[in-house]
Amino acid sequence: GQNIDQPTEMTATEGAIVQINCTYQTSGFNGLFWYQQHAGEAPTFLSYNVLDGLEEKGRFSSFLSRSKGYSYLLLKELQMKDSASYLCAAMDSNYQLIWGAGTKLIIKP
Amino acid sequence: ETGVTQTPRHLVMGMTNKKSLKCEQHLGHNAMYWYKQSAKKPLELMFVYNFKEQTENNSVPSRFSPECPNSSHLFLHLHTLQPEDSALYLCASSQGTSGSVNEQFFGPGTRLTVL
């Protein structure tokens, strides 16, 4: 079956760095997405990786290893506004997104 | 503001009621989606429309009935729902349905409570 695993909840300190991991098992693979969802709001797109390696976008970076079925989202210089849920989603061979349950990130001052 | 709007934002209905959720996208996208989001569970894809044609129906009970009159509008008609259908219903749109064009833009959702 198809499956996405990511931690349920993580806590980090303002100004620090946090890495949110995601492992996936899909029938075929056409890329991996990360979305951010603040409580009571819509998910918003953060990144898309289809090739191995690290992609950096300001304070956020996303990494993919296709051979390991693994991705992570790296958040640097954490700010209070980064408190949110982070959703990992892998695209299978039918271009359907398989979603993880999300990682709730709590930032403490 | 993502360019995708949903109404109503909150809905409380009894099991015998009939109601409809509305979604509109102002992004010129060709694909639209309905998702169900329950607490601590992955997003569940319900329906996909691409160029107004339904391309996915993930074993959704018939008490949920989608309608896509054009590429900008999507409806979800609800009737004789069950309490376990209470959830956040999210609409999304994307330019296409493959590769990076599958980046989906979400609406704020409708919080549905079935009594």
Among chain A residues, the shortest Cα distance to B104 is held by A45
pLDDT of residue B65: 94
Residues in A touching B105 (Cβ below 8 Å) = 45
> Which of A22, A97, A99, A103 to probe by mutation at the B interface, max B CB count within 10 Å?
A97
Pick A31's closest partner by Cβ from B4, B45, B99.
Answer: B99
Residues in B touching A55 (Cβ below 8 Å) = none
A97 and B2: CB-CB below 8 Å? no
pLDDT of residue A94: 82
pLDDT of residue B58: 72
Pick A100's closest partner by Cβ from B4, B42, B109.
Answer: B42
Q: How confident is the model at residue B113 (pLDDT cuts 50, 70, 90)?
A: very high
pLDDT, tens digit, 9 for 90 and up, residues A3-52: 999 999 999 999 999 999 999 999 999 999 999 999 988 899 999 999 99
Contact A20, A105 (CB under 8 A): yes
Average pLDDT of chain B is: 90
Could you write out the DSSP letters of every residue in A6-75? Answer: --SEEEEETTS-EEEEEEEE-SS---EEEEEE-TTS--EEEEEE-SSEEEEETTEEEEEETTTTEEEEEE
pLDDT of residue A7: 97
pLDDT of residue B99: 58
Could you write out the DSSP letters of every residue in A58-74? Answer: TTEEEEEETTTTEEEEE
Q: Shortest Cα distance from B48 to chain A (angstroms)?
A: 10
pLDDT of residue A54: 97
Letter for the amino acid at A78? L
Q: How confident is the model at residue B100 (pLDDT cuts 50, 70, 90)?
A: low
B100 and A99: CB-CB below 8 Å? no
Q: What is the pLDDT averaged over residues A94-99?
A: 87
Compute CA distances A37 → A8, A41, A53, B17, B27, whole Å: 14, 6, 24, 31, 20
Rounded Cα–Cα distance for residues A5 and B60 (Å): 24
pLDDT, tens digit, 9 for 90 and up, residues B9-57: 999 998 888 999 999 999 999 999 999 999 889 999 999 998 877 877 7
